[in-house]
Each structure stands twice: as C-alpha cells, then as structure tokens.
Chains A and B, each alone.
Chain A
C-alpha cells in the first residue's frame, strides 16, 4: 500500500511544486493522476520515488516511510517500489531478457552481478515475467529493435521482476499510438488485480482514466483538486484542471 501524506516540495527559488499532497493507493487499485502541464504530476512521482527530496510530508510504502531514508536503507526500501516512465528507458544494446532480469539487481548483491553478469535464477524468472506481458518470443531480441508499445511492456516486465508492492507509472502511454496505449492500460489494470499491486499512474489521456482507473486524482498547482472514484468524476471537474493551464 502507498500512503502519501502532506507531501510538499519547495524549490530553492521559493516556488512551491507540491503542497500538502495526500494520496492513498491500496493493493489491487489503479489510481490515475490527471492534471495540466506543470501542475506537478511528474514531480509528485519523482518525489515518491525519492528522485527529488521532498520538503515535508510522508511517503509510506507498506508502512515504511521513504521520506526519512537515505543511502543503503533507501535502496533497500525502494525494492518495494518500481517506476516506469514515458520512454521505456531500456538498455538498447542488451537483449529483452537481460533488460527484464536487471529489475532483480536490487536483490542480488554479489560479485557476479557487480561484474555485469546476470543470475541464472533471475533469468528464469525474467522469462516468466516476459510471458506475463506477452513478449516471451522476443526474449533474445535486442531491446533497441522493439516498437514503442513492446518497449513499454518490457519496462513493465522489468518493474515486475523487481517484485514491487507499488508501481509508479509516469505517462506510460504518452508516446504510443491509441491501440498500444489501450494495451498498456489493460496490462496495468490486469497486473494491479492479479499481482495485488498498488498502481499510481500519471496520464494526460482523460478517456483512458475514465475507462481504467479505480480512482482519479486531479492535481492543480501542486495541490489535490479532487480525489474521487472514477464514476464520480465529472467532466466539468476535469475540464477545470486544464482550464487553469490555459489561463
């Protein structure tokens, strides 16, 4: 379970990027964050992943407060939290299978993996993760040869290899065609349910949010504008999020 309470981030120039932000994602839930450009969506995910240091608040993953950790402790705690981004961020010259297996590196601190090797047991697990995302037949293909949708599915398989409890997805379908975008959202929906994952996903596509989210969180100027079950989110409330951007 992911619990974010009172999260805030103030940049050195005084600009407040996040302000007292609350969001809770329970296991099995897919929560989608909507908001205009510069509203703080990506900053929120980067803060939760501790790529940015928050100025205040708590980030609890299964009870562990990530906001107070650093160094090795943070690295250990991060194992429970996987991140996928807009661009799949694969090592293009490695095989699909090797890319997926690197998701397990956090659990394998031995000389072999430090020297660039991959543990045989994790390679076997990576194979089954690839099968889960429907790409088992591409295991030995170079990652650089995949399409955008395939790359994103490999990134998801890599995240699963990490065996996380929470999955953060930062605009995972932004650079995909509509069909591939639907495919990725269906996959995230299924994984949340089957793996009992808490999935927090930032999106720009409102229609996808209406179709796949359990809850939708609106963000405006770094603050929660609304946090409602999908069925209760009005078109007007969503329109307001983007109106403030146009203004």
Chain B
C-alpha cells in the first residue's frame, strides 16, 4: 500500500508546503510592521500639513533671529565653559565609578555571582533614568547651578559606561589572562597586569566617546536649571530674545562640532 505519492513526490510536496508557510509568515511580518508604524502616526497625531501651513511662524522666527547679536559673545563664554566643564566632570566621575562596577559586572572576571547581579542592577538602573530626570532630581537635592548638571551626567554615565566597559572586558582575549594565572600570579596581579593593559585602549576610546555625548547633553541640562549654556538659551527663548537665541545656537554648534572632532581624533590615536 502507498499513500499515493512516491518518496520523491512526498518530498516535493513537503517543500511546497514549507515555501507557502514561509511566504505567509513573511506577509504577516510585513503587515505587523506596517500596523506598528500606522499606530505610531495615529498616537503622535502626525499632521505633515501643519509643517507647510506653519511656515509663516518659522519665517517670522528666522527674521527676528537674524542677525545674531554678536555684541554679546563675551556673555556666552562663561556659560559655554560651564557646559564644557559639566561634561568633563560628568565623564570623569562616571568613569571613576563605572570602572569598579564594570569589573564586578563582567561575567569572566567577577569575583562572586551575587556581586555580578548587584553591579548589573546598579548599571541598569542608572542607565534607565534619563539624564534630564537625574538633573531634575539633583536640582531638587543640591539647588540650581552647574553642580547638579555634573552629577546628573555622572550618574547616567555610570550606567552607559558600566555596561560598555563590562562588555569590553567580557569580550577580551582570555588566553593571556589564563597564562598569567598559571604563573602563580594573584587575582589582583592578573587583573592589573593582564586585564587592564588588554582593555585600556578600548575603555579610553569609550570614555572619549562618552565625553563627546556628555558635552552635547550638558547643553540642554540648563533647561531644567542645571547650569551651562542651556540655561542662557532657555532664558533667551522665554524673553523672546531671538537674536540672542541664534547667537547661542551658533556657539552650541561650534562646541558640539569641536567636541566631536576632538573626540574622533583622540580615539583614532588610541586605535
């Protein structure tokens, strides 16, 4: 008795079914993606026509913002320096706190499993809260000014750097580490003589990238009272002083591009 199909015929039929099922799944996948996009357009109430009808407002803003009030360049220098220093403080403090956490949170070098989970928890928590929220919290705690801004960036950087540092340590070549351990070196010696020299260029590169990110972030922290050029920008916008706003935006642009270039050059030198 046969079921009506020779073995080769049955194989061909199976392949046909599999092909049809794959095509159906693919179509379903595309439909789901489209559905997600459409619902997001509905939820954000996207009205592209408003961009066209609102061009009068944009033109009015540009007219009132031009020319930038360059006579007040001197007044922007201190807030600009403040923003840069908020970024530097946040990065340096973040690196100092993220390093030991990363060692505990790297599965291949962590001294104990409970410490691994604790470190991973701290890293996840500090990363999941946005730096603006941290800034609001620190403004409440220590008052207005650049210090809460620096603290906000430092705490957020712990999460971002901690995770990247830990991943770098986890992906390092373990052969030299094993070789050092076999010489009778202590755990600490293996860490300082093998792990650190192995990963330090990558960690420095990540830190420089973070400095670039923090410099950009420090520019908006002023919007919530955490000092820097953002505070000036917020004040100028509130007073409809658009010529001052355009000047500040030019300064911000120069700072961001400068930080980006400097960070890129330094990272290239480390590579």
Contact = CB atoms under 8 A, between A and B. Distances in A.
Nearest to B198: A91
Contacts, number: 75
A89 interface: yes
A106 B198 contact: no
A210 B69 CA distance: 87
A220 B183 CA distance: 30
Given A102-B193, A105-B193, A115-B192, A51 B185 contact: no
A105 B198 contact: no
Given A75-B186, A105-B184, A89 B176 contact: yes
Nearest to A84: B179
Given A85-B175, A114-B189, A105 B201 contact: no
Contacts of B175: 85, 87, 89
Nearest to A107: B184
B208 to A, nearest CB: 17
A34 B192 CA distance: 37
B24 interface: no
Could you say which interface size class chain B belongs to? 20 to 34
Given A87-B175, A89-B178, A93-B198, A113 B184 contact: no
A104 B189 CA distance: 11
B32 interface: no
Nearest to B192: A116
A158 B189 contact: no
B5 to A, nearest CB: 39
In this complex, the member of A105, A158, A162 whose beta carbon has the largest number of chain B beta carbons within 10 angstroms is: A105
Contacts of A87: 175
B183 A114 contact: no
A105 B180 contact: yes
A93 B196 CA distance: 10
Q: What's the dominant secondary structure at chain B's contact region?
A: helix
Interface string B120-133: 00000000000000
A158 B185 CA distance: 13
Given A91-B193, A93-B197, A83 B185 contact: no
Given A78-B184, A106-B183, A109-B186, A93 B200 contact: yes
A92 B200 CA distance: 12
Could you say which interface size class chain A belongs to? 20 to 34
Contact of A85 (B179, B189, B197, B201): B179
Contacts of A78: 182-184
In this complex, the member of B176, B184, B186, B198 whose beta carbon has the largest number of chain A beta carbons within 10 angstroms is: B184
A87 B200 CA distance: 22
Interface in A38-91: 49, 51, 75-76, 78-79, 82-83, 85, 87, 89-91
Contact of B184 (A51, A79, A91): A79
A94 interface: yes
A82 B183 contact: yes
B188 interface: yes
B178 A91 contact: no
Contacts of A82: 182-183
Contacts of B179: 83, 85, 89-90, 155, 158
Interface of B: 175-176, 178-180, 182-186, 188-189, 192-194, 196-198, 200-201
7 contacts: A78-B183, A83-B182, A85-B179, A90-B176, A93-B198, A102-B194, A109-B186
Interface of A: 49, 51, 75-76, 78-79, 82-83, 85, 87, 89-94, 102-107, 109, 113-116, 118, 155, 158, 162
Given A92-B176, A103-B183, 13 more contacts: A49-B182, A75-B186, A79-B183, A79-B184, A91-B193, A102-B194, A104-B183, A105-B184, A105-B185, A106-B185, A107-B184, A155-B179, A162-B183
Which are the 8 A-B pairs with shortest beta-carbon distances?
Answer: A106-B184, A105-B185, A116-B192, A89-B175, A89-B179, A79-B184, A114-B188, A91-B176
